[in-house]
Amino acid sequence: MPFGERRSETRFPADDSAIVTILQGVSHPRLECRILNTSKDGLHLRLPVPIEPGALIQVRQKGAITMAEVRYCIPAGSGFHIGARILSTMSARQDLPT
């Protein structure tokens, strides 16, 4: 682990599209986002709007639905970078509406 690195899990770069639904707090029906990287326990997302730390979110991507808790949200250019701790993940059935 590099000096100063606090993460316990390896991060893997990504550039995948997903849909985020905020499950508590201020609600947005569906927000398009980019998954910037992933680990066993977390996601790093880029969204067009901020989400409060502590909010529960659903991240729907091809093949999986992930429930997560927002840990941080920081401005990044014209959007926001969000770190989320994964609570659970399940396979998305292809016959369910998206």
> Can you list the domains of the chain with their CATH numbers?
12-91 (2.40.10.220)
- Residue 64: CA atoms inside 13 Å, Cβ hemisphere, count? 12
Phi, psi (rounded to 5 degrees) for 75: -60, 145
Helix (H, G, I), strand (E, B) or coil at 51: coil
In terms of Cβ atoms closer than 10 Å to its own Cβ (0-12, 13-18, 19+), residue 74 is exposed
- The pTM (predicted TM-score) of the whole model is 0.82
- Residue 29 is predicted with a pLDDT of 74
Residue position matching structure tokens 């949200």: 73
Neighbours of 65 (CB within 10 A): 19
Query: pLDDT, tens digit, for every residue of 27-83?
Result: 667 899 999 999 999 999 999 999 999 999 999 998 899 999 999 999 999 999 999
In this structure, what token pair is assigned to residue 48?
Answer: 């067009």
